[in-house]
Amino acid sequence: MPDTPLLSVRDLHTSFPLRSALLRRTVGQVQAVAGVSFDVPAGGTLGLVGESGSGKSTVARTIVGLEKARSGNILFEGEELTTLAPAAMRRVRRQLQMIFQDPYASLNPRATVEQIITEAWEIHPDVVPRKRFGAEARELLERVGLNPDHARRYPHQFSGGQRQRIGIARALALRPKLVICDEAVSALDVSVQAQVLNLLEDLRRDLGLAYLFIAHDLSVVRHISDQVAVMYLGRIVETASRDELFTRPLHPYTQALLSAVPDPKPWDRPPRRPIIIGGDVPSPADPPSGCRFRTRCWKAQDSCATTEPALEIRLERHPAACHFAADVAEVVGG
Ligand SMILES: Nc1ncnc2c1ncn2[C@@H]1O[C@H](COP(=O)(O)OP(=O)(O)OP(=O)(O)O)[C@@H](O)[C@H]1O
């Protein structure tokens, strides 16, 4: 089936028990992911954006099996992952790798770069024959822009950007089809960010990789994504192609996020008015009734408290979960 997405997530829910230290018992549930659906096509990139705490990492961790889904479906090449036995999950996990924000924390400080890369091949001996370990590790280092002669060095001997390249090499070692990048460039300086994003783009082109690219920073997501989904308090509130989302955001939350991003072509358009979102993010243990964004939304009306807006198709291929998504543009100024 050529049209089957590489990854398909449907109505995913993941929650954590909310414990009271005082009462020493569970007093509720944190609904970190509260009904999320999206597709990532083979060779494509979906950018998942939202403020800290919106549930992006939990989506990623649930996909790779680090958290358990409460309900919903995760289909990888059409195979359901939520009910997969551990041995079968290990087989699928090879195709599905993750790059984390902090390469320092995710790289073993006592292992050389070569050991970090070849560890995956020890566990999956059919990928690379042992006698080719050294040569293949050097090749991988070269592919991610590192000097292969540095294969015997330790992580602390590299800069932050170089360490993230090691993390990328490790993720590529098992020849995955999908790489989940969870805030993979957020800790890097802007110039280094651009280099790593270019590398990820080259790898996508050369190896046919797909990415689920998670970031709180819309300008980072803009560089790499074909499609963008915006998350707020455990739900996707808007999704569209990158160009559509950046030129015509429909959801007030997306409009506010975008108003804070510097316009790459300020000479082409009237200046954007910054939109300051009032109030704090509500607790995912006790989300507002109706629209989850209503407590911070300048468009909110009484109906927003009673009726939850569905993620409807307002424009072709551009769903936005807002009762007033139709009256766009006037706030953002085009
Ligand atoms: N292990 C856990 N136990 C309890 N609550 C958790 C756990 N992990 C995440 N949460 C809560 O779930 C919600 C979503 O967190 P998550 O880390 O997925 O968001 P995020 O958008 O990735 O934010 P960040 O970028 O800060 O990680 C938050 O309210 C968080 O406190």
The complex scores an ipTM of 0.97
Residue 173 banded pLDDT, cuts 50, 70, 90: very high
Nearest atom of ligand 1 to the alpha carbon of 231: 21
pLDDT, tens only, 10-69: 999 999 998 888 888 888 899 999 999 999 999 999 999 999 899 999 999 999 999 999
176 lines ligand 1 (CB under 6 A): no
Residue 329 banded pLDDT, cuts 50, 70, 90: very low
Residue nearest to atom 10 of ligand 1 (CA): 32
Residue 281 banded pLDDT, cuts 50, 70, 90: confident
Residue nearest to atom 2 of ligand 1 (CA): 16
Average pLDDT over all residues of the chain: 89
Backbone angles phi, psi at 313, to 5 degrees: -80, 100
270 CA to centre of ligand 1 in angstroms = 37
Percent of the chain residues topping a pLDDT of 90: 69
In this prediction, residue 334 carries a pLDDT of: 38
pLDDT at 326 over 80: no
Task: Give the least confident one: 74-83, 111-120, 143-152, 325-334.
Answer: 325-334
**Per-residue b or e along 256-295, where b marks 16 or more CB atoms closer than 10 Å to that residue's CB:** bbbbeeeeeeeeeeeebeebebeeebbebeebbebbbbbb
Residue nearest to atom 12 of ligand 1 (CA): 32
The predicted model scores a pTM of 0.91
Query: Could you please report the per-residue DSSP string of 119-176?
Result: HHHHHSTTTS-GGGHHHHHHHHHHHTT--GGGTTS-GGGS-HHHHHHHHHHHHHTT--
In this prediction, residue 290 carries a pLDDT of: 95
Mutate to test the pocket of ligand 1, among 57, 67, 235 (most ligand atoms within 8 A of CB): 57
32 CA to centre of ligand 1 in angstroms = 6
pLDDT, tens only, 251-276: 999 999 998 877 666 666 666 677 88
Q: Are residues 130 and 137 in contact, defined by beta-carbon separation less than 8 angstroms? A: no
pLDDT at 331 over 80: no
Mean pLDDT of 158-171: 93
Residue 332 banded pLDDT, cuts 50, 70, 90: very low
In this prediction, residue 168 carries a pLDDT of: 95
Mutate to test the pocket of ligand 1, among 56, 59, 214, 236 (most ligand atoms within 8 A of CB): 56
In this prediction, residue 295 carries a pLDDT of: 94
101 lines ligand 1 (CB under 6 A): no
Residue nearest to atom 11 of ligand 1 (CA): 32
215 CA to centre of ligand 1 in angstroms = 14
301 CA to centre of ligand 1 in angstroms = 29
pLDDT at 90 over 90: no
312 CA to centre of ligand 1 in angstroms = 26
pLDDT, tens only, 186-240: 888 888 999 999 999 999 999 999 999 999 999 899 989 999 999 999 999 999 9
